[in-house]
Chain A
């Protein structure tokens, strides 16, 4: 693994270009059209899981209600494009901003709370959003939802076809990764990680924890909203039950299995869970049994997830010292 990483770092720019080229070729080289749909879902959920990972994997808060922010984004697109004909590309950032604002509101009561209290509040907020979507008929279509959401304009391409919609998700994913990488490698990102690792120490070093925790929520919610906005035309019809706690737990499973605290973890998680969902569709409830077993297995074997941050409190908090000379390089394992 580390040899791959070494190679990667050396030829980073080249590697990214090659990767990008491969990704662009995917919709054209996949044999079946339905596989392209899978690819779209993988990309979409990768970013959604990534948005949850920002909160759960980088600030020490366990949010269970990402479905709510997702819903805000989706309904913004659905309602404003069908009612006022506003362009998808304008709504994309606007949906994100709206979701970020809701994220701010949700963060307010959680600032003084910890652990499960915080998680329950996020779950409650997500449910409240869903119920409002289900009952606020003039805006959200109530239980009937919103139909025939217009497809975005993309250089005249027929985005109705997943082959081309794929690129919308790809662009969103790439922008998300690029921006997030920059944020994480900055004072803001360091503050988040400090809060995650040891909040008291962070406070004593001058990090305003309430501000950064709130900012973190807003950032995660923003991207969930953006993805939601892209989701709406893709499925063409949205209604409240698509944003239930099950959806939220689905996304949670992705980062628990795939990895928290790294940029690649959610991508791995999205790939695994989406492929399982699609290929095992016929198994119905057994699918969820498999996820559940995977989640529990992860917590036992590798709490940070497959591709998660091993060097963090996410990995279980115990340090195993290798028998080496004093001060030498060691590694963190989960206790």
Chain B
């Protein structure tokens, strides 16, 4: 199996926010925390585009790099998870993440941030799979139930794809070939490297701009 990845097809996203609702409902996420959000670019302008954004489970995750207590870990499937028992709520991951994925509860006492919360790719956390403790801290563990993330499975237009990177990339490629446009996958270059769909090829060092 390749790595688990999200793809949001901006040609299909209709900004219905069902992914956001599905996520909040599935994991019983408290007010003030949104693990997933829908962002609209050029809102109100003809040709506006919407994308659903959450933790992309980056190949080289900046949150993992900056965490002072090393609470992040990556599963064999490439899902970036964190241990809330270790997290000290410093917020460094929030500043480092290019997608704004790490969230903090807003009702902390004396301005304390509390434990960081983020998308788990519906893979729970380090607690026992399916346990009450895991649900309380991280939400449902759908991957261990043989299911895919709730946001993607609930997406009404199937704009949001989640699963094995090879499989979702194949599905997206078929769509692009069929419709002949919309090959840009926003966020993939940032999350998984620059040699991805929709990204310009990297220039070798010292290469000159064409005149």
* A and B: interacting chains: no
The chain B residues found within 8 Å of chain A, CB to CB, are: none
The chain A residues found within 8 Å of chain B, CB to CB, are: none
